[in-house]
Amino acid sequence: MVLVEVGMQALAAVVRADESLVVFDSRTLERVKRFALGESPKVAKSAARLLAFLKGHEDSCVEIIESIADKLSEATPEQLVAHTTVLAQIARFQADAFEHKSDAIMAFLIKKLLMGRYQQDPEEMDVDDDWVEDDDMTPIQSARILALKVCRNRCLAHASSETALDVATPVLKMFSTLLEHYGSYSADAPDSPQVKSRMRLQAAVSLLHLSTIEAFANVISTNFIWLAITVQDPCYHVRIIFLTKLVSLLTARKLPTRFNTIPFLTIHDPEAGVRTRATAYISFVSKSLTPAARVDQLEIIFIRLLHLLAHHPDFATAHENMQEMAKYIEFYLDLIASSENIALIYHLAMKAKTVRDAQSHTYSENLYTVSELAQELIRARAQARSWSLQSYPGKVKLPSDILRALPNPEAATKILKTQYLSEETMAWLNDIKGHKPSAPAKEKKREPREAKQGKSPPAKRKASRPRANGATKRAKTRKAARWNSDQSESEEEPSSDGSGEEGEQSDKATSPKRSSSVLSEEGHDSEFGGGEPSEREKKLGRKARTKAQEKISKQIKKSTARPKKP
């Protein structure tokens, strides 16, 4: 059977790549049909895929669909797994053949298989784990997961047809219900935790695939919050598999930009692997996008992230909850914010308090609270890093699918004057701003040492004395002074309040073009004055003068010993 499985899989791959490479006679086709109706799920899947890609053999797919439709109600659990596997392939790649019996098939899959009440296995009741691998699932469990794939593939096959929404709307509602009830169609369903985890994972992944279709994505956006918080599922396997599929579709640019908000919800994940994968994706995208694309993909979505937090099931205005919400915003700022885009991010945070939520007044107040929280955190970060929070000069179009305009100017004025954060939270935020953290090295701005110590800037460089032979003497620089010069270039930058001559001298000291003007540890010019030289400098100065005098003497002797021309 293993050879049959591998052979069928290879034939299906060849036919999909180039049908002209394979020629089948009637006897071979009959054998392929028998494999498609057999009890081996893997062999049946490859056989169904082979027939679906063979041009001119649609009738064979119709025969298989009709045969399976008649056997579904009496099929054993093992046969049910193989049959639903075949249905998933034909629904995706031979939609017309599937529609011959689609009403009967979908009625059975949804009402009998998916919504049927199955008693929990007594052995599973003693298991504390909330996940089950494919090989350990019962046939009925596997058939239910495959039934969800049949529904998803049927929607994808009709994506470009006029009946796309008619076919997809009940399926999208069914998937959303599974997410809202954590893997069941009702709160009192007797399903085991393992089955629920597999069901909600399959529903979430199916919604990701369907979101690649614009028409379906607009419908899914109404329940986007339930799809987004799948990345915070109690089961680790659900979180990591969902995030992996999400990242793969986002990297291929198949999903709308609002899905880029989901990776920022991983900040509270107890597993470092989940956080690392989300951070790696955001960092990669941030570096690979063009500046314009970066604005659309990562910066404009900040207001969508605030809206998502306002709708989060764990949202509350208590101080402890605000501290948790602040971590999401800080995570976003850590990965995205810079001195170049902080004005836009701050502008979006303020704009969130000038509109209302599209769903309800309660969510609007949540949004205003998150807006105030984001503004305070952004101001604290800008203050800590000496970033300028200037007014954003451009115009930003806010997403109309989640936000609405306020009814009148009076309402806008009242909202702007109202403080939605509690006094405890405001005191905590003021404390954050009062204790500025040390800025990153790339953003660090320190005063030059001369300004810190209150000493005068180094004197301007003097012209070198001409040598006896007419060449200009090159200024010598001690190794210690060169080391100090390197340090001054990497560490010392102009202070934010420096002005006048001191600011000019600081710029000169840190400019690579003026690296020859090196400073000693005391901040004085190492060769051209600007202070009382140390004993070591005096010794090195005497040695330098002695060597210069010796060279001059040698030059004089050579010139006097040279015979004159007649």
For residues 51 and 93, is the Cβ–Cβ distance under 8 A?
no
Residue 405 backbone phi and psi in degrees, to 5: -75, 150
Domains of the chain by residue range: 1-114, 161-288, 289-433
The tens place of each residue's pLDDT in the chain, 566 residues long, gives: 688 888 888 888 888 888 777 777 888 889 999 999 999 999 999 999 999 998 888 899 999 999 999 999 999 999 999 999 999 999 999 999 999 999 999 999 999 999 887 766 655 544 558 899 999 999 999 999 999 999 999 999 999 999 999 999 999 999 999 999 999 988 777 788 999 999 999 999 999 999 999 999 999 999 999 999 999 999 999 999 999 999 999 999 999 999 999 999 999 999 999 999 999 999 999 999 999 999 999 999 999 999 999 999 999 999 999 999 999 999 999 999 999 999 999 999 999 999 999 999 999 999 999 999 999 999 999 999 999 888 998 889 999 999 999 999 999 999 999 999 999 999 999 998 775 544 443 333 333 333 333 433 344 444 444 444 444 444 444 434 333 434 333 333 433 343 433 433 334 333 333 333 333 333 333 333 444 444 444 444 555 556 656 666 665 555 555 444 44
What is the model's pLDDT at position 120?
62
For residues 299-323, one letter each, b for 16 or more C-beta atoms within 10 angstroms of the residue's C-beta and e for the rest, the string is bbbbbbbbbbbbbbeebeeeeeebe
DSSP element (H, E) containing 403: strand 403-405
Per DSSP, 110 falls in state I
Q: Based on DSSP, count helices (H) and strands (E) in the chain, helices before strands.
A: 26, 2
Cα angle value 448/451/453 (rounded, 5°)? 105
What is the model's pLDDT at position 160?
92
User: Long-range CB contacts (< 8 A, 24+ apart) of 489-497?
Assistant: 489/515, 491/444, 491/446, 492/446, 492/447, 492/448, 492/449, 493/444, 493/445, 493/446, 493/448, 494/445, 494/447, 494/448, 495/445, 495/446, 495/447, 495/448, 495/451, 496/386, 496/445
Rounded distance, CA 379 to CA 387, Å? 9
Residue 355 burial class via C-beta count within 10 angstroms: exposed 0-12, middle 13-18, buried 19 and up: buried
Which tokens sit at 509?
A: 């000291």
DSSP track, 296-312: IIIITTHHHHHHHHHT-
What is the model's pLDDT at position 460?
40
Residue with tokens 């001559």: 501
Q: pTM, whole model, 2 decimals? A: 0.75
- The SS3 call for residue 405 is strand
